[in-house]
Amino acid sequence: MAPADESWYQQVPEHHRHRIGAGGVVVRPAGTVLLVALIKEVDIGDAHYVLPKGGVEAGEDIEQAARREILEETGLSDLTHLGPLGALARRNFKKTYWQTSHYGLYLTRQIEGGPTDPDNYGLAWFSIEELPPMFWPDERELIVGRREWIRQRAETL
């Protein structure tokens, strides 16, 4: 499957449903390299990666939802919140609703994780300097556009 095109970023009248989402950019130092946790989703296929994210559930705030989604999709639980990265808005993968996802930056020392649904998600680590193809262009830009800030925040801990 090709990366998302402009059609995912156009809000259309039939999208009366709006969902608030949360997720994160999880980084881990590995010597002089800073690694980023990305996931493969079965729905999207093997050619592209995404950031862990999902909908905010009743009773959760953004931070709680982001931690839950990261845990579910990567298995990473030892997370230090380093700050907010911003929000991205687009249609969901099936184009059935509009979602605004709020992303935070998290630091971990964990190397391996076990997604709660390993049949649908897989964790992989990549250098922040050499990201693989990503399905969502805005997620890639969130990392690349804030790369120096991410690196500086991660180095403070």
Query: For 114-157, what is each residue's pLDDT tens digit?
Result: 888 887 788 999 999 999 999 999 999 999 999 999 999 998 76
pLDDT in tens, 62-82: 999 999 999 999 999 999 999
**Which residue segments constitute the domains of the chain, with CATH numbers given?**
16-155 (3.90.79.10)
Angle at 64 between CA 52 and CA 105, to 5 degrees: 50
Percent of the chain with pLDDT over 90: 71
Residue-averaged pLDDT of the chain: 92
pTM value? 0.93
Total H helices, total E strands in the chain:
3, 6
